[in-house]
Amino acid sequence: MTTFIVDSHSAACDSLWTDGRGNTVQSTLYKYLFIPEDDMVRQGEAASAFYYAGSAEAILMHQAFAVGVLTADQYLVWADNLKKARPGVTLGFCEIELASWVPQNYEGIHEDQGLIFGGTGGRYAFTHYRDSYCTQRAAEYAIQHDRYSGPPVVHYCSMSKTGKELKELKELKELDKAAVDTIYEHTSHLISDLQASGGGVVDKFRYTGCTTAAAEEAPAVDMDKLTQWVKRHEQRRKEKSLRDAVAGKSAEPRLQVKRLFDSDDDSETVVKMA
């Protein structure tokens, strides 16, 4: 269902969503999240890119936190609820800060010889990269050999081979209000479905439309590791917010994000559901 690969200056991933049998599924959810500096959605947020592998529902929930639709506490509660409802739910991701192109955190994926890769086609991409030294070609090769990966390849390059800044985007869509609204809508539907299921299996969830591929793609959600990642992410956000304040930079987010559970009553309900 996924291929992505990251090297020292670029990254690429496929765009195909499939169900557990490898059938193509239409979805408006991307397998990446690209947040440029001009579209910061939370105070103190760093321009970053996330690349994902795993179950669509877990990816959606993670993106909802990354863009501010869910707070840290709400995200951890509902990620845990999702895991309880679907014990087989999986998640792997890599977070990269764009300014330095330094991977900040990654869980449930692979690292080898300076490359980070994941998904059912990740190993194919890794193998081919050593011949081409190009993440885009590596992803294209993986698509040819992995039935759960498909075109178009989404490619981002932070600099040219001469070391000059390039910022080349192929098929990649930057975060905007429409994308945030879509994440909000889908997350709202997913949480409503989880509430209605009463902890049952969410087999009828239709808004992202795909499940983990039969082949190994990402590990089961580890709430302890996820909690640690959220804490590190929030700490870096607070530190950047403080640096921005000292530097006199605006603390106002450029995109107004509608949060789920805005009221105190809703927030209390969320905690009780855990």
Give the domain CATH number at 261. Answer: 3.60.20
Instruction: Give the span between the Cα atoms of 271 and 274, in whole angstroms.
Output: 6
Residue 21 is part of which domain span? 4-266
The residue count for the chain: 274
Query: Left (φ > 0), alpha (ψ -120 to 50) or beta: where does 133 sit?
Result: left
DSSP three-state, residue 169: strand
Closest by CA to 118, choosing from 98, 101, 99, 96, is 96
What does the pLDDT look like over 101-137, one tens digit per residue?
A: 888 767 778 888 889 999 999 999 999 998 989 999 9
**Between 9 and 266, the higher pLDDT residue:** 9
Instruction: Give the span between the Cα atoms of 25 and 209, in whole angstroms.
Output: 6
Statement: residue 95 has pLDDT above 50: yes
Statement: residue 161 has pLDDT above 60: no
DSSP three-state, residue 182: helix
Question: Is there a domain that residue 273 lies in?
Answer: no
Question: Is there a domain that residue 216 lies in?
Answer: yes
Question: Is there a domain that residue 47 lies in?
Answer: yes
Average pLDDT on 236-264 reads 76
Q: For the chain, what is the domain count? A: 1
What does the pLDDT look like over 58-91, one tens digit per residue?
A: 999 999 999 999 999 999 999 999 998 888 889 9
Instruction: Scan for tokens 């105190």, then name that residue.
Output: 264
| Whole-prediction pTM | 0.86
Instruction: Give the span between the Cα atoms of 211 and 89, in whole angstroms.
Output: 8
Question: Is there a domain that residue 63 lies in?
Answer: yes
DSSP 18: B
Confidence band (pLDDT; 50, 70, 90) for 206? very low
Average pLDDT on 152-176 reads 71
Q: Which two tokens stand for residue 219?
A: 């590990």
Question: Is there a domain that residue 274 lies in?
Answer: no
Average pLDDT on 32-42 reads 78
Average pLDDT on 144-170 reads 74
Confirm if 67 and 267 have CB atoms less than 8 A apart. Answer: no
Closest by CA to 271, choosing from 70, 55, 91, 43, is 70
Question: Is there a domain that residue 41 lies in?
Answer: yes
Beta strands at 110-112 and 115-118: parallel, antiparallel or unpaired: antiparallel
Confidence band (pLDDT; 50, 70, 90) for 39? low
**Intra-chain end-to-end CA distance of the chain, in Å:** 29
Instruction: Scan for tokens 């840290």, then name that residue.
Output: 72
Question: Is there a domain that residue 68 lies in?
Answer: yes
Question: Is there a domain that residue 272 lies in?
Answer: no
